[in-house]
Amino acid sequence: MPTLFDTVTFGDLTLKNRIVMAPLTRNRSPKAIPNDLNVVYYEQRATAGLIVSEGTAVTHQGQGYADVPGLYLPEALEGWKKITDAVHSRGGKIVAQLWHVGRISHVSLQPGGAAPVAPSAIAAKSKTYILNEDGSGGFAETSAPRALELSELPGIAADFAKAARAAVDAGFDGVEIHGANGYLLDQFLKDGANKRTDAYGGSIENRIRLTLEVVDAVVKAIGAGKTGIRLSPTTPANDVSDSDPQAVFNTLVKALASRNLAFIHVIEGATGGPRDHQYEGTSFDYAAFKATYVDAGGKGAWMLNNGYSAETAEEAVTSGKADLVSFGKPFIANPDLVRRIKDGAAWNNINPQTLYGGGAEGYTDYPTLEAAE
**Amino acid identity, position 172:** F
Contacts of 347 (CB under 8 A, 6+ apart): 330, 333, 334, 337, 340
Q: How far apart are CA 87 and CA 84, in angstroms?
A: 5
Q: What is the DSSP letter of 364?
A: T
Cα radius of gyration rounded to whole Å, the chain: 19
Q: How far apart are CA 368 and CA 373, in angstroms?
A: 9
Asked about 183 being catalytic, the answer comes back as: yes
**Which residue among the candidates 183, 286, 308, 366 is catalytic per the annotation?**
183
- Please answer whether residues 260 and 295 qualify as being in contact, where contact means their C-beta atoms are separated by less than 8 angstroms: no
The angle, 0 to 180 degrees and rounded to 10, between the axes of the packed helices 36-44 and 74-89 is 30
Contacts of 6 (CB under 8 A, 6+ apart): 17, 18
CA 263 to chain centre: 12
Sign of CA dihedral 274, 266, 193, 103: positive
The H or E element that residue 330 is part of is helix 329-333
Sort 74 into a burial class: Cβ within 10 Å, 0-12 / 13-18 / 19+.
exposed
Q: What positions carry a catalytic annotation?
A: 183
